[in-house]
Structure formats: C-alpha cells, structure tokens
Amino acid sequence: MQATKYIWFNGKLVPWKSAKIHVLSHSLHYGTAAFEGIRMYDTKKGPAIFHLKRHMERLIFSAKSLGMDLPYTLPQLMQAAVDTVSKNKLKSCYIRPIAYYGFGEVRVLPTNCPIEVAIAAWPWGAYLGDEPARITVVKTLRIHPQTLRVKAKISGHYVNSMLAGREATDRGFTEALQLDYKGNIAEGPGENFFIVKGKTLTTPALGSILPGITRESVITLARDLGYKVVERAVTVKDALSADECFFTGTAAEVTAIASIDNKKMKTASGSSTDADAYSIGPVTKQIREEFLKITRGENPKYKKWLTFVKEY
Ligand SMILES: Cc1ncc(COP(=O)(O)O)c(C=O)c1O
C-alpha cells in the first residue's frame, strides 16, 4: 500500500504519520467503528468520486447504529473527502473514511469516549485481480441480522469477513461465498453477489447482506439496459445452474466468477471444462464495461453519480 502525504483527522489535514490513535481507544477493543470504502476514478474531466454522497450517507447511518452522532454534517464529510484527495494530488484512489470511539474509559459501553473521524486516501488497483474469481462456499456463515446491524458497515463485522476470506484463500481459492443463517447465498466477505440466467439477473434480497452501493448501481444499470432484476433468496443450486455469476463492490467493482468449488460456470458457449479457458460471460462483460464507463464519466446519463474534484 502506497502512503500518501495527508490524512484528514478530526477536522484537519495532518501528515500521514501523525494520524494516530490511543491504544485504549474503544473501537480498537470492541470493533465499534463505522467506515466506508469509496473509489475515485480518473476521468477526462478530472478525478471523480463515485457515489460520494451515498457513501457518506451510509457512514452516518452506520455510525448511528452504534449510537454515534457524528460531529460533522453530510456536506462537511463530503467536502473533507474532496479536500483529502485534492491535498494529496490524487487522480484515482481508494478513500477510507472511518468514525470511531476514541479513548475515554475502557468498558463495553462507550461512556465518555470521544467520537473521532478520519479520512485517508491512497492509490489502489483491482481488488480481486483482473481474472475471473475462483470462489468457494465457506463454512463461516454471514452474520445473523439479529446478532449485528448487518445493514451497517461496522469494523467488528469484518471479523466474520476475515475468517471467511481466510477460509477460502487457505484452500487456494480467490474469494469466499458466504451463506446466510437460512442456508441461502448471502454475499462475499466484501462483495455482493449476482447470478445471470438469460435476460434475468438475480441477487440475494436484503436481510443478511450489506446493501451495497455498487449492487444498487448495477441493479439500476441492468434495468436500464433491458434486463429483468430480481431480489430474492438465491441457493447454491441456483448459482451452479446459472449462465454466469459475478460479484459487485467498491473494491471488486464488477468481478466475473469463473467457478464455485471448482465447478465451472457456463461460458458464452456453455461448454468450458477448463478453468483457464474460462472467458467472462457476455452479460457480466457488458455490465462490467458499462459500469466502468460510468465510473470514468463516459456515460452522461449517470453523471450525477460522480463528484468531480478539481485537479491540482
Ligand atoms: C460485506 C460487504 N458486502 C458488500 C459490499 C459491497 O458494497 P459497496 O458496493 O457499497 O462497496 C462490501 C463493501 O463495502 C462489503 O464489505
């Protein structure tokens, strides 16, 4: 990971090395931080942050679910992200805002713990690589919606993601696919999941998943492209009999899935038996290309999803 010069830290841009927290910070001990992952893309009209407002709205929502009232408004948080990327002279990057309980007292309820906010940004490439992912259904179930606030993006939830991801990579796969407590497909540790059958895209309904901003964008885009999109329970059997599957996420963007537990997805010809011979399916390819065009400002219809940043 490439360090940049400045981090926005409790209202000020400070040198990267100075953005430090106390070792007794509440969120370090109890996983009580709300955070976001946002991408900024290089476009012909300068750098543009994808869905900045939606991400900051979700940050505020996630913080609220922990009882945190952030000391900054939505416009202030959006401006802080813009200031962070501008001051670091970035053209394309990943942006990580985080709101956490700092040091006050060490006890489960964050009594007397200050609410602190930081925003960092750094250059970042493809998350799951450029190749279609080879995924596995892991034993680690996605968190139960009555155990944690699954609609919120909370640091403690990522213990579940980390264990699932590690289970997959330890067995040589690119990424995990997690089931929900009912045994249906939920999502990846950091991605939402879609299956394609003919002209229909199906994605697990909300309930046991993070309502992804990329998921929401892909649903809109696919409908605009003439696909039918259904949100319902999706089983592993549904996925294995689909024409194509893909992941969506800020980090993963739109990532094709080559195989699930070494069972190859059908390719365009429907006949691939060799993982290496997998070529990205036509629907995933179209959605991925159209999505990337939007992020690069090449589709005026979706310009409202972008916040343009002045180049320095
Ligand atoms: C568990 C989980 N699901 C889905 C996603 C995709 O969400 P988004 O598209 O908002 O990045 C993420 C990434 O934030 C995630 O961590």
Q: Tell how far the Cα of 299 is from the centroid of ligand 1, in angstroms.
A: 23
Q: Tell how far the Cα of 213 is from the centroid of ligand 1, in angstroms.
A: 7
Burial of residue 66 (CB within 10 Å: 0-12, 13-18, 19+) is buried
**CATH top class, domain 6-122:** alpha beta
Contacts of 201 (CB under 8 A, 6+ apart): 194, 195, 218, 219, 222, 227, 228, 229, 230, 283
Q: Pick the residue whose CA is nearest to atom 2 on ligand 1.
A: 190
Catalytic member of 153, 197, 303, 304: 153
Separation CA 6–CA 49 (nearest Å): 18
Residue-level pLDDT at 1: 84
Mean pLDDT of the chain: 94
Q: Tell how far the Cα of 254 is from the centroid of ligand 1, in angstroms.
A: 12
Helix/strand/coil for 32: coil
Q: Is residue 247 over pLDDT 60?
A: yes
Nearest CA to 14 out of 116, 123, 112, 110 is that of 116
Catalytic annotation on 64? no
Q: Tell how far the Cα of 77 is from the centroid of ligand 1, in angstroms.
A: 20
pLDDT band at 137 (very low <50, low <70, confident <90, very high): very high
Strand ranges for 102-252 from DSSP E = 115-122, 133-137, 175-179, 185-187, 192-197, 200-204, 228-232, 244-249
**CATH top class, domain 133-295:** alpha beta
Give per-residue pLDDT as tens, 193-207: 999 999 999 999 999
Nearest CA to 119 out of 37, 43, 26 is that of 37
How many CB atoms neighbour CB 232 within 10 A? 10
| For ligand 1, mutation pick of 192, 253, 288 (most atoms within 8 Å of CB) | 192
Rounded mean pLDDT, 96-103 = 98
Nearest CA to 251 out of 35, 64, 86 is that of 35
Domain ranges of the chain: 6-122, 133-295
Q: Pick the residue whose CA is nearest to atom 5 on ligand 1.
A: 191
Separation CA 300–CA 269 (nearest Å): 33
Separation CA 211–CA 14 (nearest Å): 32
Beta strand 133-137 pairing with 175-179: parallel
Q: Is residue 61 over pLDDT 80?
A: yes
Q: Is residue 272 over pLDDT 50?
A: no
Separation CA 302–CA 88 (nearest Å): 26
Residue-level pLDDT at 311: 63
Q: Number of H helices and number of E strands within the chain?
A: 7, 17
Residue-level pLDDT at 2: 86
Strand ranges for 90-191 from DSSP E = 93-101, 115-122, 133-137, 175-179, 185-187
Q: Which residues line ligand 1 (CB under 6 A)?
A: 37, 153, 161, 187, 190-192, 210, 212-215, 248-250
Identify the DSSP state of 143.
Answer: P
Helix/strand/coil for 41: strand
Q: Pick the residue whose CA is nearest to atom 8 on ligand 1.
A: 212
Largest CA distance in the chain: 62
Q: Are 218 and 248 in contact (CB under 8 A)?
A: yes
pLDDT band at 268 (very low <50, low <70, confident <90, very high): very low
Identify the DSSP state of 154.
Answer: B
Separation CA 104–CA 139 (nearest Å): 37
pLDDT band at 276 (very low <50, low <70, confident <90, very high): low
Rounded mean pLDDT, 97-122 = 96
